[in-house]
Amino acid sequence: MSNLPHKSNWIDGSHQQPTHQQIHIINPATEEKIATIDSTPLEAVNSIIASSLQNFSSGVWSKANASTRFGVLSKAASLLRSRLPEFIDLETQQTGRPIREMRAQLARIPEWLEYFASLARTHEGRVTPFKGPVVNTLTRLALGVVVQITPWNHPLLIATKKIAAALAAGNSVIVKPSESAPLSVLEMGKLFKEAGLPDGTLQIVSGYGRETGKFLCESPFVSKIDLTGGLATYEAIAPTASKNMVPITAELGGKAPVCFFPSMPIEKGVKAALFASFIASGQTCVTGSRLLIHSDIYDEFVKLLVERTKALRIGNPVDDKTQIGAVISRTSVERCSAFVSRAISEGGNVLCGGEPTSVNGKGFFFAPTLIETKCGSDLACNEVFGPVIALIKCQSEEEIIKVANATSFALGVSVWTNDFSQAHRVAERIDAGIVWINGHHLNDPSSPWGGFKESGLGKENGIEAFESYTKVKSTVINYGQEPTWFDDEVENARYG
């Protein structure tokens, strides 16, 4: 047995005995093994789903009143806020992201629990304008057992977004965090139990996506799948979900354009580009991975951007001075290198970076990279998920819009201009689920998050997410319409 600490599955209100098959968790900044987790087999998955189904059917949470759900989620928010330092340390260790980034991100996560707690307490049904002496009430009911597949790039944030919405609506939840960075999510079980969530309402199951995740998504007893991942993962689970009549919310990725117009001061624009492109070492679905720069400012903009990019501090993520941390794995380093090689072969011009690096000879690091390229190139169209950024010179507003729309992704875009009319004109014409004007990476629990085209289906955040975890029951109450179908007054009958 390993001497490493083990984080086992959280099932029915406690951490279970470790499974025989275990997975090592690697700190990507040091390449050290820091923990082990369970690799959950099919038999255990089926047992967990059965337990979750029993929990839902019991009504202990699904039938709990709104004030109870509000109280539990609100207390969970308070507990999480009081324990942020331990979660920040875990996130930094397992993702290799700079601790300064993790402090900023995790400080906001309790807001999602508070927001959905409030929705649970205040969201109301409605009465439709049904014709005649009839009252038609619409009520929202929990779906049942829902499965959530969460990623490694924002482990706690994305898991909390999904968990909060699903629990607020009254569902029983099974979460499978990524096998690359599951530790912080596995710790959430104890926190929710302390907040008063009934045992078995939230199950946290670890394992490989191709095994444990697949087993969960193929179960006919699951009522919804919520996935953040890649298009290949969606394509793998969609056929079975379709056969089982299971709805899917899928957040699948992006190739976000960051559009710079001449009215934006160069200094401010360059700061915006650095923030959009290199937060989390470019490992976010809305990374500003395509900088579309108007030709009137291109040369001056790029000169300063290259200078600032070269000055970014790569280092140990636990150092407060570090600005660029690790990518998640050696495979990610190799993927970044492959994109650079293809960009060069297509005539791209590497302005800075372009190579793997290390800190004290260790870690999965890749230097922040800027490459001049053209619309339609591999780098301009496909998601790197790393700090390799395409720069594209555009001659006009019309060309910026055309290039921005020239990929199969449509998640996020930012438009940087001080021309008010232009801002709205461009935002209206770019095809994306999220448009920021003079901002990037802005997020709020009330703001729907999700894209179009190959970026996915459905929304996280907001009332839209809450309602996606419910089904609508229509109750039609006749208080004055007499049945007339088989009497002599057929012309007065109501039907259909």
Domain ranges for the chain, please list them.
Answer: 6-252+455-475, 257-437
SS3 387: coil
pLDDT at 151: 97
467 is catalytic: no
The string over 230-241, giving b where at least 16 C-beta atoms fall within 10 Å of a residue's C-beta and e elsewhere, is: bbebbebbbebb
Tokens standing for residue 314: 């790569």
The answer to whether residues 207 and 213 touch, using CB atoms and an 8 Å cutoff, is yes
Tokens standing for residue 371: 């490459």
Q: What are the start-end ranges of the E strands in 336-451?
A: 349-352, 356-359, 362-366, 369-372, 388-394, 409-410, 412-416, 434-437
Say how far apart CA 372 and CA 471 lie, in whole Å.
Answer: 49
pLDDT at 31: 98
Q: Is 458 left (phi over 0), alpha (psi -120 to 50) or beta?
A: left
Residue pointed to by tokens 């697949």: 214
Burial class (CB in 10 A: 0-12, 13-18, 19+), 101: buried
The answer to whether residues 175 and 204 touch, using CB atoms and an 8 Å cutoff, is yes
SS3 402: helix
pLDDT at 400: 98
Handedness of CA 169, 174, 176, 177 (dihedral sign): positive
Query: Which fold is adopted by the domain 6-252+455-475?
Result: Aldehyde Dehydrogenase; Chain A, domain 1 (3.40.605)
The CATH superfamily assigned to 257-437 is Aldehyde Dehydrogenase; Chain A, domain 2 (3.40.309.10)
Give the distance, in angstroms, between the CA of residue 258 and the centroid of all CA atoms in the same chain: 20
Tokens standing for residue 116: 């959905």
Tokens standing for residue 263: 């009215």
The answer to whether residues 440 and 414 touch, using CB atoms and an 8 Å cutoff, is yes
Give the distance, in angstroms, between the CA of residue 487 and the centroid of all CA atoms in the same chain: 59
Please tell me the chain's helix, strand, coil percentages from 3-state DSSP, rounded to the nearest 5: 40, 25, 40
Say how far apart CA 228 and CA 207 lie, in whole Å.
Answer: 16
Residue pointed to by tokens 């607020």: 168
Query: How many residues in the chain?
Result: 496
CA dihedral 240, 246, 250, 252 (to 10 degrees): 0
Say how far apart CA 131 and CA 125 lie, in whole Å.
Answer: 19
Tokens standing for residue 310: 């070269």
pLDDT at 483: 75
Tokens standing for residue 202: 């939230």
Tokens standing for residue 45: 């998955």
pLDDT at 256: 98
Tokens standing for residue 233: 């993962």
Query: Of 179, 251, 372, 383, which residue is the catalytic one?
Result: 251
Say how far apart CA 12 and CA 200 lie, in whole Å.
Answer: 4
Mean pLDDT of the chain: 96
Q: What is the DSSP string of 49-118?
A: HHHHHHHHHHTTTTT--HHHHHHHHHHHHHHHHHTHHHHHHHHHHHH---HHHHHHHHTTTHHHHHHHHH
Q: Which residues of the chain are under the pLDDT cut of 50?
A: 1
Say how far apart CA 11 and CA 17 lie, in whole Å.
Answer: 10
pLDDT at 270: 98
SS3 207: coil
